[in-house]
């Protein structure tokens, strides 16, 4: 599958499962964040690909709001 090859070649991209581990959240919460655009992502082969930089931007934005 093309998406799996991209994740292997590009360590700066994470899957939904990896995002869950990074943020200590469940899949439902992860998909809510992705679908709402709070965490930006791209779809590759039907799977979400999330650059870690975009996860960092989300965290920075949340830290500044508090």
Task: Give tens-digit pLDDT for 3-59.
Answer: 555 555 556 889 999 999 989 999 999 999 999 999 999 998 889 999 999 999 998
Tokens in use for 10? 């590009």
**Sequence spans of domains, the chain:** 2-65
Six-digit token string for 13? 């991209």
| 42-44 β-sheet, strand order | 13-14, 47-51, 42-44
Q: What pLDDT does 5 receive?
A: 56
Cα-trace Rg, the chain = 12
pTM score, two decimals?
A: 0.76
Class for the domain spanning 2-65:
mainly alpha
Asked whether the beta carbons of 25 and 39 are under 8 A apart, the reply is no
Query: Residue 48, SS3?
Result: strand
């Amino acid at each position: 599958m093309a998406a799996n090859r991209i994740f292997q070649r590009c360590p700066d991209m994470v899957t939904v499962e990896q995002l869950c581990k990074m943020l200590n959240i469940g899949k439902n919460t992860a998909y809510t964040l992705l679908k709402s655009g709070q965490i930006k992502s791209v779809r590759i082969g039907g799977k979400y690909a999330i650059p870690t930089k975009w996860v960092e931007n989300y965290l920075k934005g949340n830290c500044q709001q508090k």
